[in-house]
Chain A
Amino acid sequence: MMRRVLLAGGLTAVMGVGGLSGCAGMGEMAAGPVQPPKVELQRVEIAHYWPFYLDTKERRGSPLDLAFIFGVENPNNAVVTLEELRFTIAFEPGFEVNTVSVYENMSIPARTTNQLRVHASFDPYVTLLSLLVTGGFRLQQAGVKAPDQLKEWWDKVQDFGFEIAVTNGTAVFRTGGGAESMAYFQGTFPKK
């Protein structure tokens, strides 16, 4: 009888633990190193657009909302969860104008590519500050006034007439077991 009791307990334990790990993943491996998923900028879309308008006295201007669509490819045989993604946006090489961070979790099944849309909003007044503080000397050397440069970008963005670069991109992933991996990415649109 004692043997039957032990058997019942043992079976429960084995099935339970097995079941838990199974749930954790339908193939989700326990803790351990995983290959970093691959993040790729697929395209940029103009989500919302107003023609150029800048009033520095009133500290306002017309908004521009760009959507960045990334492909996030999980090469592992286990589910991974994207926990954090951040990147910097530059208009033309070198003029960094925005940095975006997102922390929403997204599960990516094994050997699957998910798509992620991240919005970044711009405003000529806000972008002017960023441009002056970090790119001001460069514009000064080129003899270009910052508001003129902004107007050119606002006009040309309708046709993606200049390069929009994603730089210093970092994405943090985690497995069900807690193992962490990071992916680094950059990209440009329109693609060369």
Chain B
Amino acid sequence: MMRGRIAVGYLVGLVFMLVAAVPEAAGQARVKLGSLNDMTGATSDVGKDIALGIREAVQYVNDTGGINEKRIQLFLYDYGYRVPEAITTYKRFRDFDRVVAVLGWGTGDTEALTPTVNRDRMPYLSHSFSAHLTDPKKTPYNFMYGTDYSSNARAAITVWHDEVWQKDPRFKADREKGVKPRFVAFYNWPVPYASAPIKAIKDQATLLGFEIGPDQDISLTALDTKSQVLAAKNFKPHLVWHGNTTMSVAAAIKDSAALELGADHIVNNWGYDENLIKLAGPAAERVMGVAVNAFFGENVPLMDKVTEYAKKMNPGVPLQNRMIRTVQSWVDVLLMREALVRADKAGQLNGPGIKAAFETIQEWTPGLGRPAVTITPTDHRPGSLIRVYRVRGGKFALVKEVDLKRRWPDKWEKEWLGW
């Protein structure tokens, strides 16, 4: 009898001991997240800052409660913009790291992985904003945090048409003569990122009454674009679309100025950042482009944390070298957190649960100058409000916001999804 009671005593002690150990175990609960980044390849001009921002934003998330008190464990790898390496790294995420979701990078690799992530039911939030990833009938597990390239392109050419072509005295004579504005596109033809919105921008150019000239193929690594600028000059364009990333966009804009192309320039979001002004110098003046959120250091909610974590986590990188790309990474990570938190609260921290959580996001913004994001089960475009900026005095100034859905509601709903 007494032995039994003593045994009970030991048992109670054992239970107490285990309970005492629980908080430590709970404190180590983790949510694994993969991140594919380009820090050495053809888009590393923008990819390096993105990678820094991802790590900093994840640290912020962990410091502020994680995913319902679970820490994010981040696996961030460079794949050098090589699609085969992206695919092998994805397999590592899936089979060894066993992540619950992936932060992806380029259009080529994201589109190449689409059948795999659908089959694996792996939520994939990419920095690629290719419109091909926005139709959940085809790509149910792909998501993006920035407005898609096709919408960006449509917005940029629309704003230039409305605010420059129709108002600027430089074009008064042409307007009065009934001349159609002439448009050409500079981009790296075989690169999926650069070519993704070309069909859409030409469609929009036609809608707005432009005459379309021959495309010019400019490599993402181009330092000299004179032959392409001279070829475009024969068409006497009023407007050039730049679909590459910052370094080669800067080269093309400088060469356009040096060879007196005489055209205005509009730039997709991955070619339009603080480095463009540094690299292109005075030639960057008046260049217009799209930004999906605030530039680094702008006075918007949460920017104080972005700069604080930039200083704290990467003290070797001077703040003056940081870019809008860091801010994009924060929007990316915070949108992922939102979905993970919702999925976890629903007890569904798995592929289908996270997908469903993304699709409940309505009018959500983390601050940081990101217009509200809405994602639905039938439309993964994260929004229709697009901001178009212009370089003025070496700084970015907002020209106009365009809400494509409001301006062309039928086309937005029935025609433009998915391309």
Contact = CB atoms under 8 A, between A and B. Distances in A.
A119 to B, nearest CB: 14
A11 B13 contact: yes
A5 B77 CA distance: 56
A99 B16 contact: no
Contacts of A20: 17, 20-21
B97 to A, nearest CB: 8
A12 B40 contact: no
Interface in B24-52: 24, 27-28, 39-45, 48, 51
A57 interface: no
A142 interface: no
Contacts of A30: 24
Interface string B52-66: 000100000000000
Interface of B is mostly: helix
Given A4-B6, A99-B51, A177-B24, A9 B223 contact: no
27 contacts: A1-B5, A4-B2, A5-B5, A5-B8, A5-B9, A9-B8, A9-B11, A13-B14, A16-B13, A16-B16, A17-B20, A86-B76, A98-B39, A99-B39, A99-B40, A99-B48, A127-B40, A130-B41, A133-B41, A133-B44, A133-B221, A134-B44, A137-B250, A168-B317, A170-B314, A176-B24, A177-B27
Contact of B40 (A98, A101, A137): A98
A4 B6 CA distance: 7
Contacts of B315: 184
Nearest to B78: A99
Contacts of B28: 178
A103 B10 contact: no
B169 to A, nearest CB: 34
Interface residues of B, number: 46
B223 A132 contact: yes
B80 interface: yes
A178 B51 CA distance: 25
Contacts of B44: 129-130, 133-134
A133 B9 CA distance: 70
B279 A137 contact: yes
Contacts of A12: 9-10, 12-14, 16-17
Contacts, number: 130
B2 to A, nearest CB: 6
B314 A168 contact: yes
Contact of A134 (B5, B45, B313): B45
A184 B223 contact: no
Interface residues of A, number: 47
The 10 residue pairs across chains A and B that have the minimum distance between CB atoms? A12-B13, A16-B17, A8-B9, A9-B9, A5-B9, A9-B13, A99-B39, A132-B221, A13-B13, A168-B316
A8 B14 contact: no
B218 interface: no
Contacts of B27: 31, 177-178
Contact of B14 (A16, A132, A176): A16
B18 to A, nearest CB: 8
Given A13-B12, A182-B313, 16 more contacts: A4-B9, A12-B14, A17-B20, A100-B78, A101-B78, A130-B40, A132-B247, A133-B43, A133-B220, A133-B247, A137-B247, A168-B314, A169-B316, A178-B27, A184-B315, A184-B316
